[in-house]
A and B are shown apart, each in its own frame.
Chain A
C-alpha cells in the first residue's frame, strides 16, 4: 500500500497526520499505559519500542527461549496478561519459571482451549478488551494462522489497545499482518540465558539485528553484548 515514496514536504505532513491519528486511536488515557513497550536500547525499532494495540510475533528456535522473551515483553506492558494455549500443546507454561523474567503469577491468567479455533476466538476477544494489558497465543507448528487470521487479530488489538503476541515455532510463520516479527535462538551460556535476537520484519521499517543479548534479572534489562550483530 505504501509503494510510492512521498516527497519531503508531503512526508512531513504525513508524519504530522500520523501523530494526530496515533493520538486519536490510542485508547488508554494514561501516558505510561499507552507508551510503547521498550525492548532494549538500540533496536532500530520504529517508535523506540513495540506498539501497544498491535499484534507482534515471536518465532523461537527453542521453545524455552521464545517463552522467556515473551515473558520479558509481557511483564513490561503492566496489567493483566492472558496466556492462551490449546490442550494439544505438549508443554505447560510454568509460572515459577516466568517470575525471574519479571512476569509475576498475580498478573497471569492461563487459558486452555480444547481446539485451535477456540483459542483464536479467545485471543480475539481478549485483544478487544481494554481491561487487559496483553494477550499471548501459543501456536503450534501445525496450527493454521494465515494472513486473514493475523489481520483479524491485529484489528482486534487496535480496537482494544491490547498488546498482542503470537508465539510460534521457527519456520512455521508465513505471511502475517503482525507489526513486528522477531526471531530468537538460544546461545551457549554459563548461567544467565543468552540469546541471538533478530527483528525479521517490522511494518514501516527495515529488518534489524541480529543482536546477542543476555537478560539481567536483577535490573530487569536485556543488554546487548559487545561483538554482537
Chain B
C-alpha cells in the first residue's frame, strides 16, 4: 500500500443539506432537522449547521428539539435517498480521480494517487473539491493521507484540510478524539472513557494484548487502519468501464476541425465497445477539460438505441458549436450515460408484444429534430374533458391505438393555448346571438349547444366548474368553439 494517497471527505450535514438541495422551497436561513422513528419515539436523525449551532444534537427527542428551537423546520429522514445521493456524489467525484467510493452515511473516499498533478498538487485538488461541494450547498471537511482510514478520521475531526505526509499518519491521528474519529460503538467509548482513554494516542500507548482481550478485535482493527499500519481495501464506485472513453491530448486542441476529428475517434471507440456489449446509446455526454482546469459538457439524446458513429456525430454537430476552447482542451471523455440493449442488426430489442418503433431513417430524423425542437406524438386518452383527450408521448414511442369513439365528438381543430375572453352581447332562446370579440361586433348566424361537460370527479381534488360548450358561426362563415363556465365566456378553439 506504500505510495498510495487517499483523499477523504466528511460531509457533517449531508442528510439535511442533500434534502435541502432537492427542496429549494425550504428557507435557507432557518434551522432544519430530520427525524426518524425509533420505536414509538421520534428522534432527531440529522441536522443542518444552523440547528447544530443552536445546540441540537442527533438522537435528541423531536419534541424537545422543537421546544428548544421553535423556528426549527422538521422533515422525516430519507435514508435511502440520502444513500443514493451519496453514491451519485461519489460518481461525480470521478472527475477528480477514477477511483472514488461512498462511505455511508456521510463520507467520500478518493484514491488520488497520481492524479494531484492535474490540479497543481494535493492542496489545490482538495481545495477545489471542497469549494465545488460548497457551491452546491454542501459543507465538507477534507483530509489527505497515505492511509484511507487515517484520512477519514482526520476529515471527520479537523476542519483545516490537513495533508499528512507519508509515514506521519500515526502522529497526526494521535490527538483525535476516539468517538468522532473512529465511529466506535457508544458502549465501547464509555468503557474506554472510564479507563481515561479519550483520544487515539491514549489507546495507542496501551499494551495491545490487554486491549484486545478487553475490547476485542474491532477496536484494534480500527486503530490499525487509522494509523496506517494495516489498510483495509476500499470499494470504489466505478462506472461500467465499457461505457466511457477518454483521450488525453499531449497538446491542447482548439480548432473546430480538430475537436470534430477527435469526437469521431471517441465515437468510433465507444460504438465499438457498445457493439461488443450488445448495447445502443440513448444518452451521451461529452466532457471537455480545458487547460485552465474548467470543464464543459455537451449532452445529446437519441430516441432509440443507436451506435452508428456517423449519426451520433451529426447529433453532436450543433452542440459542438457551443464549446468555448479559449486556450484549448487537453482531455475529452465520452460517457454513455444511458444505454439500451440493441441487437446486431440494429433493431432495438423489444419487449414482448410491443409495436415496432419508427424505422431507422425516421428515428434518425426525429433524433436530429429533437435536439432543437420539442417533439411529441399525440397519444389518445379515454376522457371527455377537452384538455385530457390526449397526452404528449415521446416521439419514438410506438403509436398508441386510438380508442373507439375518440375524437368523434365534434371537436375543434385548433385549441387556444390560452382561452380568449369574449363578450356575448345578445341571446336568442338561451343561445348566444351576438359577440363582442377582439374589439369588434359580430352577429352569429348559427349557434349549437349548449353541450355540458362535467369535470371528472374521480380524479379527486378541487373540481373545475362544469362547462357549457357552444359551437357558433359568424356571418363570415368562421366557426368558433365557445365555452361558458363560471359566468365567463371564452373562445377556446376554432372549428373547421
Contacts and interface: CB of A to CB of B under 8 A. Distances in A.
To the question of whether A and B form a pair in one complex, the answer is: yes
Interface of A: 61-65, 67-68, 71, 80, 82, 84, 89-101, 104-114, 118-119, 121-122, 125-126, 129-132, 185-190, 193, 215
B373 A98 contact: no
Interface string B470-482: 0001001111000
Interface string B378-419: 111000000001101001000111100011110111111110
Given A64-B494, A95-B389, 19 more contacts: A62-B494, A63-B414, A64-B414, A64-B495, A68-B496, A80-B362, A91-B494, A93-B413, A93-B414, A94-B414, A97-B414, A97-B493, A110-B378, A112-B376, A126-B369, A129-B361, A130-B361, A131-B362, A131-B365
A109 B476 CA distance: 32
Contact of A97 (B362, B365, B407, B445): B407
Given A111-B373, A111-B375, A186 B365 contact: no
Nearest to B409: A96
Given A93-B414, A99-B407, A104-B402, A63 B494 contact: yes
B399 A105 contact: yes
A146 to B, nearest CB: 22
Given A68-B496, A99-B406, A186-B479, A126 B378 contact: no
Contact of A62 (B375, B389, B392, B477): B477
Nearest to B372: A118
A64 B372 contact: no
A111 B476 CA distance: 31
Contacts of A118: 372-373
Given A92-B417, A108-B378, A188-B473, A97 B372 contact: no
Contacts of A189: 446, 473, 477, 479
A97 B392 CA distance: 16
A132 B473 contact: no
Contacts of A106: 377, 399-402
Contacts of A95: 378, 380, 389-390, 407
B412 A188 contact: no
A122 B372 contact: yes
B477 A129 contact: no
Contacts of A100: 407-408, 411
B366 interface: yes
B413 A97 contact: yes
B129 to A, nearest CB: 37
A188 B359 CA distance: 44
A68 B495 CA distance: 9
- Which of A92, A111, A112, A121 counts the most B-chain CB atoms under 10 A from its CB? A111
A129 B363 CA distance: 11
A187 B461 CA distance: 43
* A-B pairs with lowest CB-CB distance, top 6: A106-B399, A68-B496, A186-B477, A64-B494, A99-B407, A131-B361
B208 to A, nearest CB: 70
A144 to B, nearest CB: 19
Contacts of B494: 62-64, 67, 91
Contacts of B400: 105-106
A105 B378 contact: yes
A64 B369 contact: no
Contacts of B495: 64, 97, 193
A105 B380 contact: yes
21 contacts: A61-B477, A61-B478, A64-B478, A64-B495, A90-B416, A94-B493, A96-B407, A97-B412, A97-B495, A99-B402, A105-B402, A105-B407, A106-B399, A106-B401, A111-B369, A122-B372, A129-B365, A131-B365, A187-B477, A193-B479, A215-B496
B365 A111 contact: no
Given A71-B413, A97-B413, A105-B390, A110 B473 contact: no
Contacts of B493: 91, 94, 97
B358 to A, nearest CB: 7
B368 interface: yes
B374 interface: yes
B471 to A, nearest CB: 10
Nearest to B359: A131
A90 B493 CA distance: 10
Contacts of B379: 105
Nearest to B477: A186
B365 to A, nearest CB: 4
B479 A62 contact: yes
A68 B389 CA distance: 19
A61 B366 CA distance: 32
A177 to B, nearest CB: 23
B496 A65 contact: yes
A126 B365 CA distance: 7
B377 A110 contact: yes
A61 B477 CA distance: 9
A98 B494 CA distance: 12
Interface string B443-487: 001100000000000000000000000000100111100000000
A132 B374 CA distance: 18
A95 B387 CA distance: 11
Contact of A91 (B358, B401, B416): B416
